[in-house]
Homo-oligomer: A and B are copies of this chain.
């Protein structure tokens, strides 16, 4: 990878990543507003000014993180779905992919759940629009499998939209709880519990 990049270009790319990584932590801890550019710069071990050679402004840093992560989540989800032999297996893979992604991206999960509502408001901004589009496409992906499963009589004929909301709600809820209790144990271990509850329900 990066075969064709000059050393200088590779350094720039690495620095960019370092800044984004530091910013992700701070944004997760404090949210967009309370996070300060100074603090991000300090955590990234760069001067304040350096951030502005890599990003247009604070919002650009934020949206760059979100764009990358949302895109990456979407890709993982898509891949997980394709791998399944049948809709049920696809959904099981979907759950696993979600948990795996959030386990590696705790900070992003926190940012996403707390700032999502915010960046959908007052969308004048190209980047913001693109971001919202990516989110939607991710949801549609999940709805897609649900629809396939319903068509295949694997799932009850409930609106795929509702099925998607229910599953994602459970996944997010378990993830949030896992983070709240320290995020130490393995989140992926919960995959069977979630699958079982989603498919079979809780009734004894």
Binding site for B on A (CB under 8 A): 29-34, 88, 110, 113-118, 120-121, 150, 153-158, 162-163, 165-174, 177, 180, 190, 193-194, 196-204
Contacts and interface: CB of A to CB of B under 8 A. Distances in A.
Given A33-B34, A117-B113, A173-B172, A166 B202 contact: yes
A157 B194 contact: no
Contact of A157 (B29, B155, B204): B204
Query: Interface on chain A toward B: helix, strand, loop, or mixed SS?
Result: helix
- Tell me how many chains of this kind the complex includes: 4
Contact of A202 (B29, B198, B203): B198
Given A156-B203, A156-B204, A198-B202, 8 more contacts: A30-B118, A34-B118, A114-B118, A120-B180, A155-B204, A162-B197, A167-B202, A169-B173
A158 B31 CA distance: 35
Contacts of A113: 113-114, 117
Contacts of A153: 204
A166 B154 contact: no
A165 B174 contact: yes
Contacts of A163: 197, 202
19 contacts: A88-B203, A110-B117, A114-B116, A153-B204, A155-B202, A156-B204, A158-B196, A158-B202, A163-B202, A165-B173, A166-B170, A169-B169, A169-B170, A173-B173, A197-B201, A198-B201, A199-B201, A199-B203, A201-B201
